[in-house]
Amino acid sequence: MDETSKGTEYYAPIEFVAETGDEGRTLRDVLRKRIGISRRLMVRLKTSEEGLSVNGQKVWPNHKVVAGDVISLRMEAESSETILPQPMELDIVFEDEHLLVLNKPAGLIVHPTTGHYLNTLANGVMHYWQEKGERVRFRPVHRLDEHTSGLVVVAKHSLAQQQLSAQMSEGNVVKEYRTYVYGRPPAAEGRIDAPIGRQAEDPHRRVVREDGAPSLTFYRVAETYGEQACAIDVRLGTGRTHQIRVHMTHIGCPIIGDSYYSEERWNESEAAQRVSGIIGRQALHACRLGFRHPVTGEEMRLDAALPEDMRLLERELGKWAND
C-alpha cells in the first residue's frame, strides 16, 4: 500500500498481461472475460485517479487493448471506521495482500451487531491490521454462527470480495465441516435436500418447510459410537442460516451440544449423560475450505484442526464405545 502525491492511499496494483485473444477488445471486455469484473467495481476503478492503467498510463474502460499490454488495477484503500480495534489473539491460517483466512474460536461473533460493538472477530482483525500499519476494510466473504468454530475468509479489497462471492454463488467454494451428533443417519452417506425457512413462532429459528429456500447438504458418517452417537463429515451444497444444524435435526440426528435445535428424546439419553459438561456449544467445526484464489487463480485448500473441546468430546465418545 502506498500514497500518491495527492495523499490518496492505494492497495498494491493487480496486474494482468493481455493475450493474443484480447487484441482489439476494450479494456472493459477484457476484464469481464478475465476476471468477471462487476459493473459496480468498474465504475469505482474508472473514477479513481489510478484505478485503471495500461503500460503505466491512465486509461478509460473503452481503451482498445493490444496483446502484451500490462493491465493494472489499483483500488483506493478503505477502512472500517465504525469497527473499534481491540487486541485479540488470532489464529491466522493464511494471509497475503488480498486475503486473510482465520480459524475462528467458538463463542466469537464474526461482525459487530446492534448492542454488540466489541469482542467480535472484526474488532480483533482491525486491531491486527492497525498494528501492521495496514488500512483495510473488514470484508467477511462468509460467516459462521457464534458457537461454530473454524475457517472464515476475509477479503482485503473489493475485487477479492467480488471474485470470492461469485465463486460462492456459483457453488465453486468447497466448505467442509466435522460434527458430532446423536443417533445415526438413515444411511452411511447421502444428501439432505430439504428447503429451509423461518419458523413462524420464532423468526430466529429455522426449520424444514415446503416454502423454504432450496437447501442441500452432503454427509458421510466418519465414525460410530454405538447406536447413540456418531461423527459426521459434512459438505455444504448451499449456505443457508443454521443449515447443518437444521438438516441434522431433520434426519433425527441433532448435533451434540446444540440446545437450540435439540430433540427431547436425546436430552436424557445415555449419550447425553456421558458427554455432559464436556462441550458447551454445538459440536460443529468448519475444518476445510477450497476455492480459487481471487487474484492469482491458484487452487487453495486450507484446513483447521479440531478445537480442544471437540477433541475431548471425540475422546470421550471413543472411550464410551470401547467400554
**% of the chain residues with pLDDT over 70:** 97
In a domain, 16, yes or no: yes
pLDDT at 235 > cutoff 80: yes
Considering the domain boundaries, does residue 269 fall inside one?
Answer: yes
What local confidence, expressed as pLDDT, does residue 5 receive? 41
Do both 108 and 152 map to the same domain? yes
Closest CA to 8 of 48, 57, 52: 48
Residues 158 and 212 in one domain: no
pLDDT (tens digit, 9 = 90+) per residue, 58-116?
A: 888 889 988 999 988 887 777 677 788 999 999 999 999 999 999 999 999 998 887 77
Q: Do 241 and 144 have their domain in common?
A: no
238 & 316 share domain:
yes
> 30-44, pLDDT tens digit by residue?
888 877 777 878 888
* Main-chain dihedrals φ then ψ at residue 275, nearest 5 degrees: -100, 5
Among residues 138, 169, 200, which one ends one of the domains?
A: 169
DSSP symbols for 75-131:
-B----TTSPP------EEEE-SSEEEEEEPTT-BSS-BTTB-SSBHHHHHHHHHHH
**Given a cut of 70, is residue 7 above it in pLDDT?**
no
Residue 183 shares a structural domain with residue 304 = yes
Higher per-residue confidence, 301 vs 62: 301
Q: Is residue 49 part of a domain?
A: yes
Residue 191 shares a structural domain with residue 97: no
Q: Does 157 share its domain with 179?
A: no
Q: Tell me which of 145, 193, 202, 309 is the catalytic residue.
A: 145
pLDDT for 8 beyond 80: no
Q: 104: domain CATH number?
A: 3.30.2350.10
Listed ranges 51-55, 165-169, 215-219; the one with the highest mean pLDDT: 215-219
Please indicate, yes or no, whether residues 64 and 101 belong to a single structural domain of this protein. no
Angstrom distance (rounded) from CA 113 to CA 120: 9
Which of 169, 200, 232 is a domain's end point? 169
Same domain, 318 and 232: yes
Shared domain for 159 and 198, answered yes or no, is no
Question: So what's the pLDDT on residue 158?
Answer: 87
CATH of the domain at 9: 3.10.290.10
The last residue of a domain, from among 136, 154, 169:
169
Task: Tell me what pLDDT residue 212 has.
Answer: 95
Compute the residue count for the chain. Answer: 323
pTM of the model: 0.84
Cell of 195: 428447503
Residue 86 domain-assigned (yes or no): no
Give the pLDDT score at 209: 95
Residue 121 reports pLDDT greater than 90: yes
Q: Which of 25-29, 49-53, 212-216, 309-313 has the lowest mean pLDDT?
A: 49-53
Does some domain include residue 251? yes
Q: Is residue 47 part of a domain?
A: yes
Rg (CA), the chain: 23
Cell numbers at residue 282, please? 454445538
Answer whether 257's CB lies under 8 Å from 267's CB: no
Q: What pLDDT does 207 receive?
A: 95
Asked if 178 and 129 sit in the same domain, the reply is: no
Q: Is 215 exposed, middle or buried (0-12, 13-18, 19+ CB in 10 A)?
A: buried
CA 323/CA 321 separation, integer angstroms: 6
Q: What is the pLDDT of residue 1?
A: 52
What DSSP designation does 203 have?
Answer: T
Q: Does the pLDDT value for residue 130 go beyond 60?
A: yes
Same domain, 124 and 260: no
Give the pLDDT confidence of 181-211 residue by residue, as tens digits.
Answer: 999 999 999 999 999 999 988 988 999 999 9
Domain count, the chain: 3
Question: Is residue 2 scored above 60 in pLDDT?
Answer: no
Please indicate, yes or no, if residue 80 is contained in any of the structural domains.
no
211 is catalytic: no
Looking at residue 240, its pLDDT comes to 93
Q: DSSP characters for 224-237?
A: EETTTEEEEEEEES
Residue 85 lies in a domain: no
Question: For residue 195, what are the domain limits?
Answer: 174-322
